[in-house]
Structure formats: C-alpha cells, structure tokens
Structure 1
C-alpha cells in the first residue's frame, strides 16, 4: 500500500487571440506553437500510457479562452496552414543540409516529429478538446476550469458581480464543451482573496488551488501545511502548491530545464538562416521570427548564443529519463518523511503552466511520460492521483480560512498592479460599473439583446490578466495595450449606443465576428447578487 500521493497539475491557458480582420497576426502563433510543442505531445503521451496499460492520473485546466480557440474553425484552418509551412521548411532544410551530417540528422528528427503532430491533428479532425475529453471520460484526466478570461479576481473584488460573471460564464462554457459541470477551478494566477470561496461554492465547484502561502498562512494554521487540502467554511476544498517539487522543475538556478543537454529555446532557425532562404517562412513584412526549429542545446551557463553547441535529441531524451527518475526518488523520500511526521498519507501538489512542457522546456513531455511510467512500474511509495479522486477518497479535512495570495513574483498582487499597468484599472472598474447597470435592463428587441451580450464579452476580454502581465514583463507590450484599449473602446461604444437607443447594427455584426468568444453568454450574469 502506498504511503502518499503525488498530484501533477498542469494549467493550460493562452489569452484569446483571434484576428479574422487580418491575414496575419504574429500573436496567433502563440496558439500554433503550443499546439505543436505542448498540447499534441501531451495527447500523444496520454495515448501511449493508455496503450501500455499505465492507468495514469493527472489534473489539467483547459481555460475557456484556450478551449474557444482550439474549437474555432478559423484558427483550426490557420493552424493547418502553419503546420504545412513548417513541414515544407524542414524538408527544404534536410535538402539544404544534405552534406552536413548532424544538421541533416536534426532535420530528419524534426520532420518525423512534425509528421506525428500532423497525424494526431488529422486523426482528431483538428478538435483537440474532444481529444482531451476522452481522457476526462476515462477518469485518467481531471479537467478543471478557470476564470472566463483569466481575470485577476482580487483586483475585481469591489465589484462582486464581475467576479461572479468570470466564474459563472466559465462554468457554463465548460459544461457546453465537456458535457458535465466542472468540479474544480484554477484561480487565475492562483489569486485568492477572503470570501471568494462563497462564490466558488455557489457555482457548484468543489475545490480550487492556491500557492503554498495561501494555506500556510491560513487561520487556524493548518496542521499538515500544504500536504493536505483544507476545507473552507463553505465546504470548498483548497489545495496548496508544494514548494520543493515545484522548484525542482521551475527554478532557473536548480531546475531540470537548465541542463546542458536540453534544447536551447532562444536560438532559432528563423534568426540563423540565410535571409533569402528563410524569407518565405518569416513575417510577411520581412521581419525575422522564431520558427520552432532549433538546432542548438543549452550547452552551459553563461554562454552567448553564438557559443551554443548542436543539440542531440537522443542525449536530451536520456537526460529527461534521468531527471524523471530523480524527481520520483525525491518524491519517494519526501512522502516517506511526511508520512512519519503526519501519520497519514500526504498529498504533494505540483502545479505548473502546461506550456512549460514542450514549448519552453522542449523535453518536458518526455519527462512527464517517463515520470508516469517509472511511478507505475518502479516504486510503490506513492501513487499519482488527480484532485477529484483524492477528495472522493479523503472526504474529511481540517476547516480553515485561506490567506490572500497569488503565485509568481513575491506571491501577492504587485505583478498585476504596478507602475506599468495601474492605468488600466480605473477604466476596467468603470466598465464593470456600467455593465452591472446594463445587466438590469430588459432588452427591447433582438438587436439590443445582442448588443448587451457583446458588451459582456468585451468587458470579459478586457479583464484578462494576461494583458497586465505582459505590460509588466515588458514583452509584446504594444499588443497588450492595444488589446486592452480596443475592448474597452468597443465596450464604451456599446454602452453609449444602448443608452442612446442608437445601436449600429453593421458595426455590431463586425465586432461580434471578431470577438466571438462565449456565443451563449447572457448579459444578465452581471445582475446584482442577492444576499
């Protein structure tokens, strides 16, 4: 019998980026890269585990913006074209490097990988949501939801209706796509404030996740720290992130992804190749960009990109297997130690951004595959579980009040509220006030009904925490600013048009076609909450 549990939790999220009004927008490639490098590799490893009799268990969020994009016919078509260009480019590279043994070997490796991606993509007819759902139905994968557009809840709490709309719209969207209500929610940025659990309970959700200090600073102090969930007074369970296992994967200093054998993310063929050769595969305006074809490995700390040596996937895969074994060994020792202290089975909750595995850390899916297999065949100290299964087996826990918290830099709210992004919040708050007012109206006709629902969509899209995050990181800032402003401007025009009874039907139709997320949203979700 095992002494404890390991719960691997992946947060799969990208902001809603879809531009039917343009032939090419670079930011749409965030999705395309994640499909090629993260989502399809995860599906492939799930299929392999099932085929080989490994009854794996994992929790994974698929956020509403990501689900919406994965199911969007326009983006599916554009991804198909993106993958075709990638395959064309790598075939030219193989031909180009016919006399360069190692580069030809790498080209053939990528050609094989892209062919596998193509095969999976076509086997599911481009519907990766249905592909993930089969593992939800088999109870291998516990799929949870998130805020409707990843809004940062603690900075919205002065308008409870706005927080409620983020939660309720997400739950309805989940049920539309997965045929059942969600059991759990990944709070956007794991950001929690006191009292949020009441709304989570009212939405029918059973549990959520916080960073470790959300539980460690709870009142009363939890007896088992982050190694058991706590129950709030509403009955909703809270799982906390384990710092030790997270650091082993995340840390840029001691984490696995920094190993010399692994692929170097920042050196890409799009920048290395001869300009005339690569021109058909970069941006239409002639600007270079990453292609996803990378020939170099990390090699060592402190080296410039020009000093990187050639990558070898064989040795990288060996290193991923070694790291998976090391991770398993460390969890065994951790569980044994905790079990002796606690005198009950601990649960180690290890949450990560899904896109770390494959996109940022190319070998990450191999690591997960080896970890599941080694755990299944090579040890019996712990068992892997997903969070819903754990709660079914352990329905009694200590009751506490979690502490306000978020994950990431310093663990509270300053990454999303600082000198780079503070300007957005007065506008978002004003729009929330106006939306609450609009929600009390009764639509006089179908046009007004559509306008009110579109206003709700525009506010939800403007509230995405991704835009504030990007402003703080300093990458792609003009795009994040443009997106925030455009959604607020569209919202404010709708507000004025509705109040003046002068709705521009042609303009509304165009905006509905561009910002088409949540086709079944009901603006009344913003009505003042009772009680």
Structure 2
C-alpha cells in the first residue's frame, strides 16, 4: 500500500501570437514547434498508457491563449502546411543521405516521427483540445486554467479590477472550451500576493500552485512544509513546488536534460545544410532558422557546436528509461523518509513547463512515459495523483497565509520588473485606469459595444507576462517590445474614439480580426468590485 503521493504538474502555455495580416511571422512557429515536439507527443503517450491499462494521473494547465490558438482555424491551416513542409524535408533528407548510414538512419527516424504526428493531427481533425479533453473525461488528466493572458498579477494588484478580469475571463473561457468550470489554476509564473486567494475563491477556483517558499514562509509556518497543501482562510488550497524534484530536471549542472546522450537543441540543419538546398525550408526572406531536424547529441557540456557527435535515438531512449528509474527511486526514498516524519501521507508536487518535455528536452515525453509505467509496475511506495483527486481524498488541511512569491529568479518579482522592462508598467497601469473608466460606459450602438470589448482584449494582451520575460532574457526582444506597444496603442486609440463618440469602423474591424482572442468577452468585467 502506498504511503505517499507524487503529483506531476505540466504548465502548457504560449503567448497569443497570430498574424493574419502577414503571410509569415517567425514567432507563429513557437506554436507549431510545440505542437510537433510537445503536445502531440504527450497525446500519443497518453493514448499508449490508456491502451496498456495504466491508470495514469497528471495535472496539466492549458492557458487561454494556448487553447485559443490551438482552436484557431487560421493557425490550424498554417500548422498543417508547416507539418507538410517538415514531412517533405525529412523525406528529402532520407534520399539526400542514402549513402550516409547513420545520418540516413536519423533522417528515417524524423520521417517516421513526422508521419506519426500527421496521423495524430488528422485523427483529431486538427483539434487537439478535444484530444486532451478526452483524458480529462476519464479522470486521467486534471486540466486547470491560468490567467487570461498570463498577466503577472502581483504587479497589477493596485488595480483589483485588472486582476479580477484576468481571472474571470480565464474562468469563463475554460468553461466554454472544456464544458465545465476549472477546479484549479496555475497562477502566472506561480506569482502569489496576499489577498489573491480571495479573488480565486470568488471566481470559483478550488486550488492554486505556488513556489516552495510561498509555503515555507507562510503564517503560521505549515507543519508539513511543502509536503502537504494548506488551505487559505478563503478555503482555496495552495500546493507548493518541491525543490528536490525540480532540481533533478531543471538544473543546468545536474539535470537530466543535459546528459551527453541526449539530442543537442542548438545544432539544426536549418543552420548547417547547404544554403541552396535548405532555402525552400527556411524563412521567406532567405534567413536561416531552426527547422526541427537535428542530427547531433550534446556529447559534453562545455564543448563547441562543432565538437558534437552524432545522435542515436535508441541510446537516448535507453537513457530516458534509466533517468526515469532514477527519478522513481529518488521519490521512493524521499517519500519513505517523509512518511516517517509526518505521520500522514506526504505529497511531492513537481511542476514544470510542459514545453520542456519534447521541445527543449527532446526525450522528455519518453522520460514521462517510462516514469508512469515504472511507477505503476516497479514500486508501491507512492501513488501518482492529480491535485483534484488529492483534495477529494484529503479534505482537511492546515490553514495558513502563504507568503508573497514567484518561481522566477530569486523567488520574488524582479525577473518581471527590472532595468530591461520597467518602462512598460507606467503604461500598463495607465491603460488599466482607462479600461476601468471605460467599463462604466454604456454603449450607444453595436459599434461602440465592439470597441469597448476590443479595448478589453487589447489590455489583456498587453499585460502578458511573456513580453516582460522576453525583454529580460534578451531573446526576440524587438518582437516583445513591438507587441507591448501595439496593444497599448490600440487600446489608447479605442479609448479616444469611444470618448469622442466616433468609432473608425474599418479600423476596428481590422483590429478585431487580428486580435481575436476571447470572442465572447464582456468589457464590464472591469467594473469596480463590490
């Protein structure tokens, strides 16, 4: 009989990137890469587990921007074309390397994988939300929501209506797509501030996930640290990230994804193949990019890309099985030790970005598959659970007030508020003030109604924490700056037009077609809270 629980949590999120005004925008490929390398491999893994009678349990957030993009007909059509291009390139690589034994073997591997991706894509008619939902309906997945656009909530707490809109719009969007209310929420960046739990309770959320120190410094100190959830005074539960499980996967020094046998992310044929040969498969302007076919392994951590040896999926899969066994062993030791100290079954909560599994760590879905199977057959110390099931089985917890926290660098807010991005917040705050002002407006006709709703969309899109994050990381910064400015500019123009009573109908229609997230939004969500 199990003496504890392991709860894996995957956070599936991408910022809303959709550009119908352009035939090609590189950033749209963030979604296409994640579909090919993470979301479809996860679906195939879930199907295999169910087929083999393994009653797996997993908590998985699917954020509103991701759900909206996965169900967008334009993006579905563009992904279909993207996948077709990958299939064509893989077949060309098989032919091109027919006399190059190991590289041909790798090209054939990619050709098979893209073919399986195509089969899954067509099996669900391009609707991956239906695919994920079926596993929720069998209680294998506990799909939870997030902030409407992944807005960083502690930095907008001075405008409670703005926080409320992020939560309420997300809640309503989830119900629309999954046919039931969400039980839990991944608060964006696991960023919590005192008082947020009141809004979570009022909107109808049962639990949320925070970083470990959010509970370790709670008041009063939780008796069981991070190895049991706590109830806030509103009745909303808080689960905290376990540091040890995070380090085993995330750490750049000891984390599994850095093993020399695994695939090298940064060595891609889009950068290395003959230019004229690869030109049809890179950017329309002729600029090189990653195409997703990579023939080399990490080899060693400190060498240059020119020193990488060829990759072998067979040995990488064997290593993933070894790492899954090691992870399972460490959890049995951890949970066995904790159970002796706690006098109750501990729960180890292990949250990760979903895109780590497959996109950044190519072998990640294999690792998860082995972990579920080994946990099912090879141990009886812990039971894998998802967070809703755990709360149903353990309805009594200590009451505490979590500490303000996030899972960013140094555990507070500075990754989203620093010298690279601090300039955006005065503009976001002014935009929130304007939207709250507009929320009192009663529209005179359908055009003003549409303009008010579009203003709400523009504020939500501007608030996405992804833009501040990108500015801090230093990658794709011009795009993040452009997106922040464009949404703020559109909101300000809508504000001026609404106040003047003169709506530019052609321009509004164009903006609605570009920024079409939350088609059923009601701008009154920004009205002052009672």
Category of TM-score, reference length = shorter chain: over 0.9
Question: What's the CA shift for 1:309?
Answer: 0.2
Q: How does 1:117-156 map to 2 (within 5 A)?
A: 117-156=117-156
Question: What's the CA shift for 1:83?
Answer: 0.3
Correspondence 1:299 to 2:299: yes
Alpha-carbon separation, structure 1, partners of 2:234 and 2:94: 60
**Helix, strand or coil: the match of 2:226?**
helix
Alpha-carbon separation, structure 1, partners of 2:468 and 2:259: 31
Q: Which residue of 1 aligns with 2:377?
A: 377
Alpha-carbon separation, structure 1, partners of 2:450 and 2:187: 29
**Helix, strand or coil: the match of 2:326?**
helix
Alpha-carbon separation, structure 1, partners of 2:346 and 2:292: 40
Correspondence 1:221 to 2:221: yes
Superposed CA offset, 1:218-253 (max 9, x none): 000000000000000000000000000110011010
Superposed CA offset, 1:89-113 (max 9, x none): 1111111111100000000000000
Correspondence 1:442 to 2:442: yes
Q: Which residue of 2 aligns with 1:249?
A: 249
Q: Which residue of 1 aligns with 2:69?
A: 69
Runs ≥4 residues deviating over 6 A: none
Q: Which residue of 2 aligns with 1:203?
A: 203
TM-score relative to the length of structure 2: 1.00
Superposed CA offset, 1:475-504 (max 9, x none): 000000000000000000000000000100
Alpha-carbon separation, structure 2, partners of 1:462 and 1:130: 29
Q: Which residue of 2 aligns with 1:529?
A: 529
Question: What's the CA shift for 1:408?
Answer: 2.2
Q: Which residue of 2 aligns with 1:433?
A: 433
Q: Which residue of 2 aligns with 1:409?
A: 409
Q: Which residue of 2 aligns with 1:181?
A: 181
Q: Which residue of 2 aligns with 1:487?
A: 487
Alpha-carbon separation, structure 2, partners of 1:88 and 1:182: 40
Alpha-carbon separation, structure 2, partners of 1:95 and 1:2: 52
Q: Which residue of 1 aligns with 2:342?
A: 342
Correspondence 1:57 to 2:47: no
Q: Which residue of 1 aligns with 2:26?
A: 26
**Helix, strand or coil: the match of 1:235?**
coil
Superposed CA offset, 1:15-65 (max 9, x none): 000000000000000000000000000000000000000000000000000
Question: What's the CA shift for 1:301?
Answer: 1.8
Q: Which residue of 2 aligns with 1:109?
A: 109
Question: What's the CA shift for 1:451?
Answer: 0.2
Q: Which residue of 2 aligns with 1:456?
A: 456
How many residue pairs match? The answer is 530
Alpha-carbon separation, structure 2, partners of 1:181 and 1:139: 15
Alpha-carbon separation, structure 1, partners of 2:12 and 2:306: 33
Alpha-carbon separation, structure 2, partners of 1:431 and 1:371: 46
Question: What's the CA shift for 1:157?
Answer: 0.2
TM-score relative to the length of structure 1: 1.00
**Helix, strand or coil: the match of 2:145?**
strand
**Helix, strand or coil: the match of 2:219?**
coil
Alpha-carbon separation, structure 1, partners of 2:343 and 2:390: 17
**Helix, strand or coil: the match of 1:226?**
coil
Alpha-carbon separation, structure 1, partners of 2:301 and 2:47: 36
Q: Which residue of 2 aligns with 1:504?
A: 504
**Helix, strand or coil: the match of 2:414?**
coil
Q: How does 1:462-477 map to 2 (within 5 A)?
A: 462-477=462-477
Question: What's the CA shift for 1:441?
Answer: 1.0
Alpha-carbon separation, structure 2, partners of 1:499 and 1:441: 9
**Helix, strand or coil: the match of 1:352?**
strand
**Helix, strand or coil: the match of 2:417?**
coil
Alpha-carbon separation, structure 2, partners of 1:94 and 1:134: 36
Superposed CA offset, 1:238-274 (max 9, x none): 0000000110011010000000000000000100100
Alpha-carbon separation, structure 1, partners of 2:458 and 2:27: 19
Alpha-carbon separation, structure 1, partners of 2:395 and 2:443: 45
Correspondence 1:35 to 2:38: no
**Helix, strand or coil: the match of 2:416?**
coil
Q: Tell me, which stretches of 5 or more residues in structure 1 are unaligned?
A: none
User: How well do the aligned residues superpose, as a CA RMSD in angstroms?
Assistant: 0.3
Correspondence 1:44 to 2:44: yes
Q: Which residue of 1 aligns with 2:94?
A: 94
Alpha-carbon separation, structure 2, partners of 1:215 and 1:431: 33
Alpha-carbon separation, structure 1, partners of 2:133 and 2:184: 15
**Helix, strand or coil: the match of 1:22?**
coil
Q: Which residue of 1 aligns with 2:352?
A: 352
Alpha-carbon separation, structure 2, partners of 1:424 and 1:245: 34
Alpha-carbon separation, structure 1, partners of 2:360 and 2:411: 22
Question: What's the CA shift for 1:151?
Answer: 0.1
**Helix, strand or coil: the match of 1:238?**
strand
Superposed CA offset, 1:362-420 (max 9, x none): 00000000000000011110000000000000000000000000002111000000000
Correspondence 1:272 to 2:246: no
Alpha-carbon separation, structure 2, partners of 1:17 and 1:114: 23
**Helix, strand or coil: the match of 1:126?**
coil
Q: Tell me, which stretches of 5 or more residues in structure 2 are unaligned?
A: none
Correspondence 1:232 to 2:229: no
Alpha-carbon separation, structure 2, partners of 1:96 and 1:45: 31
Q: How does 1:155-174 map to 2 (within 5 A)?
A: 155-174=155-174
Superposed CA offset, 1:174-197 (max 9, x none): 000000000000000000001000
Alpha-carbon separation, structure 1, partners of 2:173 and 2:136: 16
**Helix, strand or coil: the match of 2:149?**
coil
Alpha-carbon separation, structure 2, partners of 1:302 and 1:248: 19
Alpha-carbon separation, structure 2, partners of 1:506 and 1:284: 29
